Amino acid sequence: MENIWFDSWESLFRVACVTSLAYLSMVFLLRISGKRTLSKMNAFDFVVTIVLGSILASVSLNENIPLANGVVAFLLFIGFQFLFTWLSARVKMFKTLITSRPSLIFYKGNFLDQSMKKERLTVEEIYSAARQKGFASLEEIDMIILESTGDIAIIERITHHKETTYKDVKIKP
């Protein structure tokens, strides 16, 4: 209890040095791993982000964890994230395991209640998303889709098309 406010200058210096070096190491590793590591997050990306923050905090504040151990942990988790995304871009079954498909939650004037319940969305959240995209009426909208990242995509009333952007959406109107 005696060191609750201040331990030593050496301890503060260690935290400043190790945190700076760990942070720079993490940024460098994220930079070389590619844009995908820092893109919109699916569930797997979210877990990796939380883990990286936890590693950074542990290395910074726990004197029993050397900087090299933290850098190796960064490298492993960023490497796993890179490998998983590389595999998901090449192996359909692997992609199915680690990412969800977008879900249709509104279709041609009708809320899809079953889909909304499954995704734990309320009508008010849909109204809010439509307002944020500048829609005054749902009559202007053909579809509302909950993307695998958790974003809500809104498709305006379709008048003519050859190719659509919603081929991968679970459509169960």
pLDDT at residue 135, rounded to an integer? 93
At 52, list the tokens: 């990286």
Which pLDDT band, with edges at 50, 70 and 90, does 141 fall under?
very high
CATH class (in words) of the domain with range 103-156: alpha beta
Arithmetic mean of pLDDT over the chain: 86
Task: Please give the DSSP secondary-structure letter assigned to residue 170.
Answer: B
φ, ψ for residue 64, nearest 5 deg: -85, -5
Tens digit of pLDDT for each residue in 65-94?
999 999 999 999 989 888 988 898 899 888
- pLDDT(163) > 70: no
Cβ atoms of residues 144 and 130 within 8 Å: yes
Mean pLDDT value of segment 145-151? 87
At 147, list the tokens: 């993307």
Mean pLDDT value of segment 160-173? 65
pLDDT at residue 117, rounded to an integer? 94
Tens digit of pLDDT for each residue in 3-41?
778 778 888 899 999 999 999 998 888 888 776 666 666
Burial class (CB in 10 A: 0-12, 13-18, 19+), 85: buried
- pLDDT(156) > 80: yes
Tens digit of pLDDT for each residue in 102-116?
999 999 999 999 999
Lookup result for tokens 């579809």:
143
Domain map of the chain by residue range?
A: 9-97, 103-156
Cβ atoms of residues 73 and 65 within 8 Å: no
At 118, list the tokens: 């499954």
